[in-house]
Amino acid sequence: MKEIVTDNDVQKALDFLRYEAQNAAEAKAHRLYMVEYRKTMKANVMQLHLNKPVAAQEREAYRAAEYIAHLDALKAAITQDVFYEWKRAAAEATIEAWRTLNANRRGEGKLQ
């Protein structure tokens, strides 16, 4: 019978958690920075149109090429951050399944 979760699977999960923590943290930091910088970028573009009403300034900011490019970069940052979140969840689920499997085996041994 094939193991549901092998020791090798667990080792890979542990290695991911151990060795990818820095990359995951950088992805999260980059995402948060991009979200916050969006506000700064909007304000900078709005400032170029001070002669217009605030609603028009905001419209100009949202349609600016640099703002649209920033949104594309933000999308990429979110994708990378969410990738690490799901990889972490998968690693944790693998470890938890292995723990459960081994606890069940120990329990079966006590019943016999």
- From first to last of its 112 residues, the chain has per-residue pLDDT tens of 566 899 999 999 999 999 999 999 999 999 999 999 999 999 999 999 999 999 999 999 999 999 999 999 999 999 999 999 999 999 999 999 999 999 998 888 776 5
Domain range list for the chain? 7-106
Sign of CA dihedral 59, 61, 63, 68: negative
